């Protein structure tokens, strides 16, 4: 349950972080001002000096109340002034008044106020000053006082008793605060640990996602893009491509691959496919897409390229493949068919022209590049 300070007078600006002190001082000034002022008027006839002192301090209390209402942020300064004025009034009343020991209760108020408003150090100092003054004056009789030995003893005991209660309460509060702080530190560490774990898990997930994405778009054997990925990219690309398209498709097929497989087995056949794929990868730009279309058929889709450049690229790859000598097999060769993308072309139409060119290359004796007759 949340505890709230008791308000004698409603204090505005309660959102202030020092509102407890402000409310406390508001109450003290109001209560003290009324009491002191009234007591001053009552005492006026019996003891004019004390009456004047009471009235003056009552007025000062109202002045402080007014100052506090205008300057809440200066609560520390105002509370300091109030404390010392209170102390001053105690001195005047204590040393000048006669015939009444009840006002010594003011001592207890000053001590509690010092602890509450100014903290432990000020509380200790005030306790020492008050004890010294009371006991010192009683021993030296510097100022006239009607307090007897027992009065002084009980006063000192009240002061000490109050001090122990405040001190113990402070210790209790401190241990509770420390306990809360320790809990908070544990909680912060736990939150930090969990956040780090979550961040690590998130990064791992991202990496896994990227890996899966790459895997789903890559041909396992060659590392080239797979057919499905190319079909998607081609559809997106032709959707956004402008009027000035100049893209080429180079269709590549390994010559007499069936007989390589039949003679040397599928494992060696796979090696041949990988070798051709490496040559293709080595000669493609970042903007090109190298694809394993299926079986021993691969292709390069090269955007922003002329027909002559595409044919030259195909020829270069053909020469490089032919220049390689594979263990057990020796030389291998490829045939290439080149076609250019036309406005409104579907992939099937483009492929059909490239395939026709490839067929021409095969018919003409293989190990060569042919350009589509439609170009």
Residue numbers of the site for ligand GTP (CB under 6 A)?
221, 253-259, 261, 266, 269-270, 273, 295-296, 362, 366
Dihedral angle of Cα 11, 14, 17, 20, to the nearest 10 degrees: 50
Minimum distance from residue 282 beta carbon to ligand GTP (Å)? 21
Q: Which is nearer to ligand GTP, 103 or 362 (CB)?
A: 362
Query: Least separation, in Å, of the C-beta of 325 and ligand GTP?
Result: 19
Let me know: does 37 contact 56? Beta carbons within 8 Å.
Answer: no
What's the closest the beta carbon of residue 375 comes to ligand GTP, in angstroms? Answer: 22
Smallest gap from residue 294 Cβ to ligand GTP (A): 7
Secondary element (H or E) of residue 250:
strand 248-254
- Which residues does 364 contact at the CB level (< 8 Å), separation at least 6? 370
| 324 vs 366 by CB, closer to ligand GTP | 366
Secondary structure letter of residue 16 according to DSSP: S
User: Minimum Å distance from CB 253 to ligand GTP?
Assistant: 5
Whichever of 40 and 269 has its CB closer to ligand GTP, that residue is 269
Kindly write down the DSSP assignment for every residue of 326-340, as one continuous string.
ETTTEE--EEEEEEE
Q: Which residue is nearest to ligand GTP (CB)?
A: 269
Residue 211 Cβ vs ligand GTP, minimum distance, rounded to whole Å: 23
- Rg of the chain's alpha carbons, rounded to an integer? 49
- Let me know if 29 is exposed, middle or buried by CB neighbors in 10 A (0-12, 13-18, 19+): buried
Q: Give counts: helices (H), strands (E), the chain.
A: 11, 8
Instruction: Calculate the alpha carbon distances from 13 to 4, 16, 17, 27, 55 in Å.
Output: 15, 6, 10, 15, 30
- Closest CB to ligand GTP among 123 and 269? 269
Under 8 Å between Cβ of 273 and 221: yes
**Closest to ligand GTP by CB, 21 or 292:** 292
Query: 49 near 81, Cβ under 8 Å?
Result: no
Task: Tell me the closest approach of the beta carbon of residue 187 to ligand GTP, in angstroms.
Answer: 58
- Nearer to ligand GTP (CB atom), residue 254 or residue 290: 254
For ligand GTP, the closer of residues 119 and 294 by Cβ is 294
């Amino acid at each position: 349950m949340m505890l709230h300070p008791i308000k004698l007078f409603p204090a505005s600006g309660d959102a202030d972080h020092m509102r407890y002190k402000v409310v406390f001082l508001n109450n003290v000034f109001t209560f003290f001002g009324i009491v002191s002022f009234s007591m001053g008027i009552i005492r006026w006839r019996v003891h004019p000096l004390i009456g004047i002192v009471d009235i003056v301090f009552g007025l000062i209390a109202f002045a402080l109340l007014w100052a506090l209402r205008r300057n809440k942020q200066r609560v520390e300064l105002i509370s300091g002034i109030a404390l010392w004025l209170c102390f001053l009034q105690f001195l005047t009343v204590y040393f000048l008044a006669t015939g009444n020991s009840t006002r010594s209760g003011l001592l207890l108020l000053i001590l509690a106020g010092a602890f509450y408003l100014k903290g432990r150090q000020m509380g200790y100092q005030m306790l020492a000053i008050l004890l010294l003054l009371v006991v010192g004056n009683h021993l030296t009789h510097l100022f006239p006082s009607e307090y007897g030995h027992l009065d002084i003893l009980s006063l000192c005991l009240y002061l000490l008793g109050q001090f122990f209660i405040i001190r113990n309460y402070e210790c209790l509060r401190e241990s509770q605060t420390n306990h809360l702080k320790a809990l908070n530190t544990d909680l912060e560490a736990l939150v930090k640990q969990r956040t780090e774990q979550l961040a690590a898990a998130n990064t791992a997930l991202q990496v896994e996602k990227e890996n899966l994405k790459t895997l789903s778009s890559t041909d396992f054997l060659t590392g080239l893009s797979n057919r499905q990925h190319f079909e998607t990219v081609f559809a997106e690309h032709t959707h956004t491509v402008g009027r000035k398209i100049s893209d080429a498709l180079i269709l590549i097929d390994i010559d007499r691959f069936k007989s390589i497989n039949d003679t040397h087995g599928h494992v060696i056949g796979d090696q041949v496919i990988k070798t051709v794929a490496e040559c293709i990868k080595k000669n493609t730009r970042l903007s090109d897409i190298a694809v394993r279309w299926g079986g021993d058929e691969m292709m390069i889709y090269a955007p922003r390229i002329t027909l002559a450049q595409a044919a030259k690229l195909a020829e270069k790859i053909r020469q490089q493949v032919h220049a390689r000598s594979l263990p057990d097999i020796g030389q291998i060769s490829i045939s290439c068919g080149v076609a250019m993308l036309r406005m409104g072309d579907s992939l099937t139409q483009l492929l059909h022209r490239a395939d026709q060119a490839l067929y021409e290359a095969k018919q003409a004796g293989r190990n060569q590049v042919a350009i589509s007759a439609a170009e």
